[in-house]
Amino acid sequence: MLILLALVAGLGQQARAQTGSGVEWLRVRAAGFTLATNDAVSDGAMQIALSLASDQTPPPFCQSAVKQSTLPALLGPDPKIPYFTVRFAMPIPPENATSNVAALAGIDPMVFTHNHSPGFTILPNGDALAVYFSTPPGESESAKTTSFVQARLRYGAEEWDLPELFYKTESYNDQSGLLWNDNGTIRFFGGGRGLSDRVPFKMAVSTDNGATWTLSLPQLDQPANDFTAQPVTSAFRGEGPGARASSRRASGEAASALTGRQDGGAPGNAIYFAMDGEKATSFLWRSTDGGIHWHDMGGRTGGRHSAIVPLDDRGDLLAIGGKNSSVNGWSPESRSTNWGANWSTSVASAFPPLGSGQRPSLIRLADGNLFFVSDAFLNKAGRVPPDGWNYGNGSFVAISTNHGASWHVKPLPVQLPNHARGTNGTLGYVTARQAPNGVIHLLTTETQPCLHYELNEAWIFSDAGDMAPETSGGTIKKFSEKYPNGKLRATWSARITPHGRYLLNGEETDFYANGAKQHEVTYASGRKTGEEIFWSPDGKKLWSWSHDLKNNRSVWTQYWPNGQKRIQSAWDTKPKARDLDRSFFGLVADGSVQEWGEDGQLKHVGNFVNGSLESWLKYIDTREHGF
C-alpha cells in the first residue's frame, strides 16, 4: 500500500481520506505548509497520486508577523537573581467548555474544548510555541474529529496569541504532539490512532521559527509494532551506530558538548525521540539521515510517557516516570547504555507515581544539570504520595547536579487542580523546555485553563515563592529586521529592565515581503495597549483589537472580506482563575458578543460572563416588524 499526503488549505475544502483503485489519500488541512520529498510510504500493495491545493489561504496569525532575529532571545532575567512568573496559556473559552461556544466569540472553529498533550518548545527567536491536540466536546481522544491546534507567545509579550488550527488530518485521528528545537530547526512529531503501522507518526519541520512548515511521512525500516501512536516529550541528538565518541574525538570534534543545547543531547548525527509503547512502556525512534528514515531502537522502559535524557555522548540514558506503573510505590526509573536498545529493570525513583491525566517532563539544562517536573498526587485514584515524600500533595520541580543520583525538590507556589477532579495541584501533561536565555518554561494541561510558567535555577535553589517579576525601569531599545530582499520585515522596541528582563514596549509594525503592512500593535511593558490591527496580504483588515490596559479589558473585532464587521467580542485580560483567588495575564471572554452577516446586518447578540456563554439570541430588528 502506498499512502501519500495531500495538503488541503482552507477550512472550506471538503477533503476526505479516499480509497479505491489501489489508492489511499491522507489529506491534511493546513496553511503555510508544503510537502517534503518523503511524502509517501509503501508496502507494495497500493499506489496513489499526490495533489496539493492551489488556493492555499494566508497563514493564521500564529504563523504571521514572526520575527527571525535571534539576538533578542539571549536577553533575559539575571540568572543569579530568582525569577518566577506564571500566566494563562489558553483562553476561556474554549478551555474545558461543554460546547463549542468559543467559535461564537471568534475563536477558530477547529479549536475545540479539550486541548491536551501538547508539543511545546522555545524557538530561536525567543517565542514560545505550543501545538495541542484538540478534541470536540463529547468525543473521545481517539476520535477522527480531533485536530492539532497551535498557539504562540511572542517573546517579550505577557499574553499568548489565541489558538488556531495547525493541521487537521481529514478522517483520521490527530493526537499527541512533540515539538523540539533541534539547534535552530524546529521539528514536530504528531501522532494519531488508527492510521497504519507504516505511519506511527507524521513530521513537520520549520526553519523560520514556525512561520512555514514542511510536512512528511517517516520511512520505517520495518512496520511499527508494540507501539501507541503518541510521541511524548523527549527528543535529542546523539551518536548513531558505528560512530562512538572515540571516533568523533579522532576526527577532531569536541569530545563532549553536553552544554549549550536546549535538549541537552550530545551533538551526534542521529535524532532520537520518545513514543509510547504498548501498555506501560515507552521507547525511542532513531534517524541517522536527518529525519527521513527511522528505526525503533527496540528497548522498552517501564513506564508510559517516560521522560528520557542523554547523560553523555556514549549512549547512557536516564528514563524517569510515566504513568500507570510504579516500583514499591514510587515512579519507575531505568537506564540504558546503548541509546535505548536495551533498558535496565526499573527501580524506584525519587518521585511519586503518576496516573491518568498526568505526564512528567525531564530535560538537561544548558549547564548540564537535570531538571524534572511532575505531580505528587494521583488525581484519578485519589491517592496521596508514598511515605517519605516531604514536598506536599501538589506539583513540584526538581534539579539534579549529579546525573540523577540525588535531587533538590521544590513545590510550585502557584498550582491549579485538575479541572474535573479533586483539590490538589496538578500540571497534567507537563512539558519543560529551556530558552536561549536560560529561563526554564513549563506548559501544563488538565487545569482550568492550561498554565505557562517561567522560572530559573536561582529561584529553584532559593526560598522565594510566588513573586511579581520586574516590569519597570531600565532602558528602551529599538530593533528592526529586514527580509532577504532588503524590504523591512519589522520594527519594534523593548524595555530591558534593570535585572535584564526583555519586555516589548512601544509601537511595533510588521510587514509582508512586498512592503505591505501586516500587523500593528503598541505594547506597554509586555502588555498590549490601544489599537491592534492584522491585515491580509492584499491589504484587507482581518481583525482588530481595542485594548484598554487601565481596566484590563479588550474588544476583538473580525471582518468579512468586504470590510463589514463579522464578530465582535469582549475579553477580560487579567482574569482570576476559577479555582484560585489569583489574577493572571490571559484572556477570558466576558461581556457582549455580536455576529453580523456579510451584508452588514446584525444576526445574533449574546453575552459571556467569566468565560461562560450566558445568552445567544437571534437579533430581530423591531423596526422591520412595526414595533
- All structural domains of the chain, each given as residue ranges with its CATH number in brackets, are 2-42 (no CATH), 475-625 (3.90.930)
The DSSP code sequence of 487-541 is -EEEEEEEEE-TT--EEE-EEEEEE-TTS-EEEEEEEETTEEEEEEEEE-TTS-E
Contacts of 395 (CB under 8 A, 6+ apart): 373, 374, 375, 376, 411, 412, 415, 425, 426, 427, 430
Cell numbers of 107, please? 475563536
Cell numbers of 86, please? 506564571
- Which residue numbers in the chain have pLDDT < 70? 1-23, 43-44, 46-56, 240-267, 622-627
Contacts of 290 (CB under 8 A, 6+ apart): 271
* Strand order, beta sheet including 270-277: 219-220, 293-296, 282-287, 270-277, 227-238
CA dist 51 and 133 (Å) reads: 25
Whole-model pTM over 0.75: yes
Contact between 526 and 157 (Cβ < 8 Å): yes
For residue 103, which phi and psi values (nearest 5 degrees)? Answer: -60, -30
CA dist 576 and 206 (Å) reads: 35
pLDDT of residue 268: 73
Nearest to 191 by CA among 204, 216, 174: 174
Alpha helices, DSSP H, located in 392-526:
457-460
CA dist 539 and 358 (Å) reads: 45
Alpha carbon separation from 101 to 105, 107, 417, 590, 617 (Å, rounded): 7, 9, 23, 13, 13
Give Cα 46 distance to the centre of its chain.
Answer: 35
pLDDT of residue 195: 80
The DSSP code sequence of 559-579 is E-TTS-EEEEEEEESSPEETT
Between CA 511 and CA 128, with CA 208 as vertex, the angle to 5 degrees is 95
pLDDT of residue 58: 79
Alpha carbon separation from 369 to 259, 373, 624 (Å, rounded): 9, 13, 71
